[in-house]
Chains A and B, each alone.
Chain A
Amino acid sequence: MTTRYDATAAMEIVNAGTPGASCVDGGVLFLEPESVADSIRTLRDSEESDLVFLSNLTAVDHERHFEVVYHLQSLDRNHILQVKARLTDREDPVLPSLTGVYHGAHLQEREVYDLFGIRFEGHPDLRRMFLWDGFPGYPLRKDFLQMPGQIRAGLPGFPHESEENAWPVPGSVPQRPMHPNDPQPEGDVVVAEDDGEAEA
């Protein structure tokens, strides 16, 4: 059975090389964005953590910040560690590329760049992958094709929970543009309120 690798032990390994590069919150190792590649290289090469396999690399848009999520796996010791890095700059989020540590990060980082607009510095071939060059916007960001008056796309709730959530009568709701080049709806876009989550 794959066990979860103790994040505190991982933090000690990372901070022995670069003091203050990481902290632990809820069993997840948080890394300082600028030291991500070096810290993960330390975790890969350390005998004790032995995280030689990059299982998964993706990102989440938390509106106030981006979170890049790494799942690192040890094949011999059969444990997995979840590592995250938080990026607060929405205009130009940058992170060091992991391609020098894991060749497997190559396509996964390109995918994150394509759909979230997070740049990976040092990536040898950082281009859009699924969408064409010049595609306006980054689709997996929560503010992509955002409707006015709505915090973000998504289901507000189940219809039976309140009258506001009842299925709308066809034609009563303005149609969301299907493409970024379509005319955008007018009106102010509501900015999400601070959810009180501490910044890393």
Chain B
Amino acid sequence: MTTADDTRLAMQEDSHLAMQGTIEALTTGDGSEPVVVNLGPQHPSTHGVFRLKVTLDGEIVQDAEMRIGYLHRSMEKLAEERTYTQNIPFTDRIDYLAAMSNNLAYCLAAEELLGVEVPPRAQAIRVMFAELQRVASHAMANGTFINDCGAWHTPLFYMFRDRERVLDMFEMTCGARLTTNYMRIGGVAFDLPDELLPTLESFLADMPERIADYEALLMENEILHARARGVGVISPELAVNSSLSGPVLRATGVPWDLRKANPYCGYEDYEFDVPVGEQGDCFDRFLVRMAEVKESLKILRQVVDTLPDGPYLADVPLHARPEPGEAYARVESPRGELGFYLVSDGGPAPYRFHCRPPSLINLTALKEMSVGGTLADAIVTLGSIDIVVGEIDR
């Protein structure tokens, strides 16, 4: 005889089985109709107005397609109507998390066109600020990456403390924190203020301890390993073929760093290593960035010790008209190979102004990195590439 209790138990059993089947189908995919999910354009994991359209079978990503252009400001067209000096503030807005590196790359290209010699003190100051920018940018990249892995905001704000100190140094030197507009064609806009070097000294004194703290907190962290090890793997061959650069390329084991391969601003005089990863996964990208911060501090130490005296800006006319020709200058920005391709027709403004954006080109292999993994892994992968949407869309 069936009691009400038995019926209830049977129903519970059924629903339990059904639930299990659903969970199984969700996690492994049962080959039924795929679901399309939009991440973004407004979503915390996309780090800006960036939309990722993923096709899911259960929780497994079958296809990932990015839709961009929400921040397109047509900088390359605007730059054709402004003089070479007027274009420097535009480069801040291309990659607003590494404005110094962008200033530097653009000024190097313009200097190549104009044939300008940069004084040694200006070179050293440029290296100093490019490396400070790398420390700040990697702090942001690693902090948000760990945030994407699920460590909600604690490591991010630890790293923001260091970034804040760097931005304070920017502010005391050029008056701005993000959009610095500090480099000039032929040098830098202002000499170092008196209070900068003592601030930098105390920063360099504190940082090793901070980094040791982060390493103790994160390197052996089981959750971080579980979320990032073996996720978003890319082979070195595909990484080179996809034109990836920066930490994403070096995490695959390819030691390609323009500061070593094509030294600019006197990088050949400083001793530093190029950290590389082994497996090319998200965790290696994180490790490479952590190691690069240490190398940047090494370079900063040497710059402070050998800072030459002299002029900080070469004598370049404000109204410069370069000879007709073209220049392609590249620097190793925190995100990778950042290039500016300028064409001059002898006029006061560039005939063509093109930025080779590492953020955009590093996304070429996003589909290859995320297909076959789960949706949660795709978010970690996107976080590990360290995109800046201003640079993707320009």
Contacts and interface: CB of A to CB of B under 8 A. Distances in A.
Contact of B261 (A2, A52, A132, A140): A2
B115 interface: no
Given A1-B263, A71-B328, A107-B363, A58 B341 contact: yes
Nearest to A99: B364
Nearest to B83: A155
A158 B348 contact: yes
Nearest to A54: B243
A104 interface: yes
B238 A131 contact: no
A129 B65 CA distance: 12
A103 B364 contact: yes
Given A2-B261, A104-B242, A107-B361, A155 B72 contact: no
A139 to B, nearest CB: 5
A130 B341 CA distance: 20
A131 B72 contact: yes
A84 B69 CA distance: 27
B149 to A, nearest CB: 26
B77 A139 contact: yes
Contact of B328 (A56, A144, A156, A157): A56
A55 B356 contact: yes
Contacts of A69: 341
A168 to B, nearest CB: 13
Contact of A75 (B69, B256, B339, B363): B256
Contact of B361 (A104, A157, A160): A104
Contact of A103 (B76, B254, B348, B365): B365
A139 B82 contact: no
Interface in B68-88: 68-69, 72, 74, 76-77, 80-83
B254 A55 contact: no
Interface residues of A, number: 39
Nearest to B356: A56
Chain B interface residue number, banded: 35 or more
A129 B282 CA distance: 27
B281 interface: no
Contacts of B337: 55
User: From DSSP, what is the main secondary structure of chain A's interface residues?
Assistant: loop
A75 B354 CA distance: 23
B330 A107 contact: no
Given A2-B262, A58-B341, A140 B361 contact: no
A131 B349 CA distance: 25
Given A1-B263, A107-B363, A107-B364, A155 B256 contact: no
A200 to B, nearest CB: 16
B352 A60 contact: yes
A108 interface: yes
A38 B69 CA distance: 32
A52 B240 contact: yes
A60 B68 contact: no
Contacts of B130: none
Contact of B341 (A56, A158, A160): A56
Interface in A69-117: 69, 71, 75, 78, 82, 102-108, 111, 115
A128 to B, nearest CB: 8
Contacts of A144: 77
Given A53-B240, A130-B69, A155-B82, 6 more contacts: A55-B330, A56-B339, A60-B352, A103-B365, A154-B349, A156-B347
Interface of A: 1-2, 52-56, 58, 60-61, 69, 71, 75, 78, 82, 102-108, 111, 115, 129-132, 139-140, 144, 153-158, 160-161
21 contacts: A1-B263, A55-B330, A56-B328, A56-B354, A58-B341, A60-B343, A60-B351, A102-B241, A103-B243, A107-B361, A107-B363, A111-B360, A115-B76, A154-B80, A154-B347, A155-B83, A155-B347, A155-B349, A156-B347, A158-B83, A158-B319
